[in-house]
Amino acid sequence: MARKRTILIYYSHKETLGHTTRVAALADALIKGYGAKVSLHILQGGVPQPYIRFPEAAEIINLPHPFDTRASFKGIREMRYVAERARAILNNARRILPDIFVTEFFPFGRLNYMPELLPTLQHLRRRNVAIYASIGYPYLLNLSDMKEAKFRDMLGQLLQLYDKILIHTPPGLEDPYFAKTISSPGPQRRYREFFDGIKEKIIYTGYVVPGKVLKGTAPLPSATTSGQSTVVVSRGGGAVYPKVILNAIRAQALLGNAYRFIIACGPATSVAEQKLFDLHVRKYGTGNVILHRHIPNLGELLATCDVSVSLGGYNTAVQLMRAGARAIIIPHHIKDAPLATTDQLARARLMKEKFQSTVIDYADLTPVKLARAIEKKCRAPRPGQAPTVWFGGATSSANILMKYRPDK
């Protein structure tokens, strides 16, 4: 009997869902596709997310002292325990003896994780272990630093440790949209040069569609009345943009009984936020708002609703494209960042151009503006569904990892 292929995956998050659910979907594809042929181990570097459903056959290892939380979006981090986390990663790698080590998002982002990852990367490289990166989209978070020669050299040396880079989008689809979000000629050139320089390592896998990775019972919304439209509102993990929920509750009150809203606040919603959301429902509610912390079957609701209102996160956008749903996108971005580009801005532009989605800037969001956008979107025809071939990313990635041969 052939020896199992042992795979060790490292990822972290800021209490959002995108990175976690891509890893969970990849884990599911590996276990379902290869069963006893794979031994799968996952190093989870963020705050534990007990509502996530990983395959039972996968070993989940929570690293100590996570320093990235939802507060990291405001620049708040606690990094005193890097050495301890580095030892934990290296000790687990020595125990597990992987054939392949996969880092999710790193080194395209989260370079502040380098001190804890570098000892393990160097150790595994010396042992001829294959090293892969799993990247959601063609985006370099530290692009503004690429103007510095020392940074370019450091990143270049880091990327030399990697055998392949799996980018989980269809080939050539998102790259132009990311490039267009960069307004300055210098950063645009550095973006092109960076991706041209590593093109031999890149494999575009297609989108990774999130499965039913959230634990819990599917909500049972009350039946709609005759002619009532269903609007599904979601903000991903719930780490940012609480006014999306507040404005949606008030927009439903403006729209009245012709519209039923199902709202997913996000599992990372704080206690204070949840109290505020509940207060708004009591103050403005018409009996047509169903509020949930998270919705395990969100993908099914997005496929059947009349209109979706959401951020521009990877998971939601992928499900909207696959369903051909009417969508209003409120992309998350940090305006005072060195570069204004983010993955959500690029994805919102793609959704607007190819799927007629409506895009609203969070700073401009009001209950009236949102209500009017929902009314207009409900009257619009549904966009066509994206091609099926766009969505095989989890299976494709699992096949690539399992078919790797060390002598190739």
Q: What average pLDDT values come out for the chain (408 residues) when binned by 10 residues?
A: 87 91 96 96 94 94 88 67 95 98 94 94 97 94 86 94 97 92 85 93 96 74 76 92 96 95 93 95 90 89 95 95 97 69 88 97 96 97 96 97 76
Q: What tokens does 194 get? A: 């960076």
Same fold, 5-208+392-403 and 229-386: yes
Domain-by-domain residue ranges, the chain? Answer: 5-208+392-403, 229-386
- Report the C-alpha gap between 114 and 119 in whole angstroms: 9
CATH code linked to domain 5-208+392-403: 3.40.50
Q: What are phi and psi of 104, to 5 degrees?
A: -95, 125
Q: State the pLDDT at residue 408.
A: 45
Q: Specify the length of the chain in residues.
A: 408
- Report the C-alpha gap between 101 and 48 in whole angstroms: 21
Angle at which helices 367-379 and 243-255 cross, to 10°? 60
Q: State the pLDDT at residue 221.
A: 65
CATH code linked to domain 229-386: 3.40.50.2000
DSSP letters spanning 260-290: EEEEE--TT--HHHHHHHHHHHHHH--S-EE
Please report, to the nearest 10 degrees, the dihedral formed by the alpha carbons of residues 241, 24, 290, 376 taken in order: 60
Q: State the pLDDT at residue 200.
A: 96
* Residue 44 CB-half CA count within 13 A: 22
* Stated pTM of the model: 0.93
- Report the C-alpha gap between 205 and 173 in whole angstroms: 12
Q: State the pLDDT at residue 238.
A: 87
- Separation of CA 212 from chain center: 15
Q: State the pLDDT at residue 391.
A: 97
Q: What tokens does 382 get? A: 């549904």
